[in-house]
Amino acid sequence: MRPEELRSLRERLEQRRRQLTRLSRTAEAGIQEIRSEREIEFGDEAQSEEAQQRLNQLEETERGELTRIAAALERLDAGQYGICHRCREPIESKRLEALPLALECAECAGTAKRPTRS
């Protein structure tokens, strides 16, 4: 993979990390606001709990993606980014452009998803 492609992918990963960090802060502020409400009417209580659950799920999803982004950036730093975890061959540039967090080449990813026949 060419250095300019790697730089571009690094920038995309770092930008996404910043977006997720902002979203996470917003979600956390929403959770704190829900928790700090003092007078919740009976009918609103269920909605408040549901909103808090949705915010918690969103935060968990964001944390998972942030973890995958951090791992991709570590692979970039180590010179291992873009190497398939299964076959150890380079992952196609087009695949990484579409899926910067990809761990497998298209062939290995396709093989993993195909059902086995008896």
How confident is the model over 16-35, as pLDDT tens digits? 999 988 887 776 666 666 65
Average pLDDT over residues 102-117: 80
Question: Over 90: is that where the pLDDT of 74 sits?
Answer: yes
Whole-number average pLDDT of the chain: 82
- For the whole prediction, is pTM greater than 0.85? no
99: alpha, beta or left, given left = phi > 0 and alpha = psi -120 to 50? beta
Task: Quickly count: other Cβ atoms within 10 Å of residue 16's Cβ.
Answer: 17
